[in-house]
Amino acid sequence: MEEQDKALERFRIQGRVKWFDPVKGFGFIIADEGGPDILLHANVLRNFGQGSVADGAGIEVFVQRTSRGAQAVEIIEIHPPEGTGFVLGEDIPPEVASTIADLVIEPARVKWFDKGKGFGFANVFGRPEDVFVHIEVLRQSGFADLQPGEAIGLRIVDGKRGRMAAQVLSWEAALRKPA
């Protein structure tokens, strides 16, 4: 019985996403302190409010050892991959790019996103126009992909061609952050 109780113990780790494939429904985490890879299942990611996560993203999770190895059972926090900043290209004035964290988080749903094309669109609740979402902004926000209908929080800027996402947050993370 004692060995079974020990197997059910949860412990907290910090690490990086080695890779995650939303089609397969799983991926792996590498703990900062080393050791074997840790399984990250799509259900655990969905419970956090995301359908995907970018390779190289920082992640803090609760882990449980099972007969098949260590697996994440709860996500505490996800951070964008190191070395990414909010580079939005020519459409965004440099003075706006430096103040993205100060923008209001707007509730939205993904209209469509095509990873192959590298962009998609979302709709903000109560507004008729689409919001452009570029794959680099998505990656810089810690995501690898978005699914139609997925609830997200967006920090939005006005670009030369209309409203565009400057940052994407999972809906649950957006609820935890002060607006």
- The string of DSSP codes covering 27-61 is EEEEETT--S-EEEEHHHHHHHT-S---TT-EEEE
Backbone dihedral angles phi then psi of residue 6, each to the nearest 5 degrees: -65, -35
What's the confidence (pLDDT) of residue 109?
A: 95
Q: Does 2-79 match 89-176 in CATH topology?
A: yes
Q: pLDDT, tens digit, for every residue of 64-91? A: 999 889 999 999 988 877 654 544 554 5
Instruction: Give me the CATH topology for the region 2-79.
Output: OB fold (Dihydrolipoamide Acetyltransferase, E2P) (2.40.50)
What's the confidence (pLDDT) of residue 22?
A: 82
Which stretches of the chain drop beneath a pLDDT of 50?
1, 5, 84, 86-87, 90, 179
Give the residue extent of every domain in the chain.
2-79, 89-176
* Cα gap 33→70, rounded to integer Å: 14
Instruction: Give me the CATH topology for the region 89-176.
Output: OB fold (Dihydrolipoamide Acetyltransferase, E2P) (2.40.50)
What's the confidence (pLDDT) of residue 88?
A: 52
What's the confidence (pLDDT) of residue 28?
A: 96
